[in-house]
């Protein structure tokens, strides 16, 4: 069967069916949170092929008590998020500003039903400040393949490792601090 792209759809329209636009039981169940206390379940073009070219995806995010979705960016998408359960402290940092200004940190505490926007490509996070209760959010992203870059993991947990000379100077710490950081286990909470 020929691949059909651009202008043409990628599958023969007469062979398309509802399953190409559907994912069952995708976002209903709490999932085990990781080391930093979160788990992002993203439904993108890998899960639903019909999303190809359509420019959107959706995710459920589970947060353990005091868990966080740590500072990260989406290289190809803006994110809009609403809280389903619990409370989240969220924020993003604006891009570099002319001196003497610094990168601005914009944050909010979100309760159930609040909506917040993380503009495309900016570093952002969500944190569940409640020590006893989990939190749940639904987020949508403006790409069928938004990508995610967890900052700490990409910087300190890459394969192979970035030179510790470079990172020591960039982060203004001793090389052995970088070495220690690079020796940790950096577990992504979403792909």
Annotated binding site: 69, 72, 74, 79, 124
Beta bridge partners of 117: 80
| 138 sits near a second copy (criterion: CB under 8 A) | yes
Beta bridge partners of 63: 38, 135
| 86 sits near a second copy (criterion: CB under 8 A) | no
CB of 153 to a second copy, least distance (A): 6
| 91 sits near a second copy (criterion: CB under 8 A) | yes
CA gap 141, 75 in Å, rounded:
11
| 130 sits near a second copy (criterion: CB under 8 A) | no
| 131 sits near a second copy (criterion: CB under 8 A) | no
CB of 9 to a second copy, least distance (A): 8
| 56 sits near a second copy (criterion: CB under 8 A) | yes
Task: Candidates 33, 39, 51, 62: give the one binding a second copy (CB under 8 A).
Answer: 51
Question: What is the CB-side half-sphere exposure of residue 86 using CA atoms within 13 A?
Answer: 24
Q: Of 139-178, which residues contact a second copy (CB under 8 A)?
A: 140-142, 144-145, 147-163, 165-167, 169-173, 177
CB of 88 to a second copy, least distance (A): 11
Q: In this structure, what is the dihedral angle of CA atoms 148, 152, 154, 157, given to the nearest 10 degrees?
A: -130
Task: Candidates 58, 61, 88, 178: give the one binding a second copy (CB under 8 A).
Answer: 58
Are the CB atoms for 116 and 110 separated by under 8 Å?
A: yes
Q: In what order do the strands lie in the sheet with 149-150?
A: 88-93, 123-127, 68-73, 149-150
CB of 39 to a second copy, least distance (A): 12
CB of 87 to a second copy, least distance (A): 12
Three-state DSSP class for 117?
Answer: strand
Residues in the annotated binding site for Mn(2+)? 72, 74, 79, 124
| 65 sits near a second copy (criterion: CB under 8 A) | no
Residues ≥6 apart with Cβ < 8 Å to 15: none
Are the CB atoms for 79 and 144 separated by under 8 Å?
A: no
């Amino acid at each position: 069967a020929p691949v059909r792209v651009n202008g043409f759809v990628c599958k023969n329209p007469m062979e398309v069916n509802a399953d190409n636009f559907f994912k069952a039981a995708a976002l209903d169940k709490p999932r085990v949170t990781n080391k930093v206390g979160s788990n992002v379940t993203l439904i993108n073009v890998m899960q639903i092929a019909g999303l190809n070219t359509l420019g959107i995806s959706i995710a459920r995010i589970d947060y353990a008590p005091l868990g966080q979705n740590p500072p990260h960016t989406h290289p190809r998408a803006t994110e809009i998020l609403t809280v389903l359960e619990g409370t989240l402290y969220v924020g993003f940092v604006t891009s570099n500003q002319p001196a003497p200004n610094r990168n601005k940190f914009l944050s909010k505490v979100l309760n159930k039903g609040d909506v917040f926007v993380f503009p495309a490509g900016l570093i952002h996070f969500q944190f569940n400040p409640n020590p006893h209760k989990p939190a749940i959010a639904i987020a949508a992203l403006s790409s069928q393949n938004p990508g995610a870059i967890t900052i700490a993991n990409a910087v300190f947990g890459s394969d192979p490792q970035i030179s510790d000379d470079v990172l020591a100077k960039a982060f203004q710490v001793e090389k052995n601090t970088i070495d220690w950081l690079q020796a940790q286990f950096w577990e992504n909470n979403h792909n």
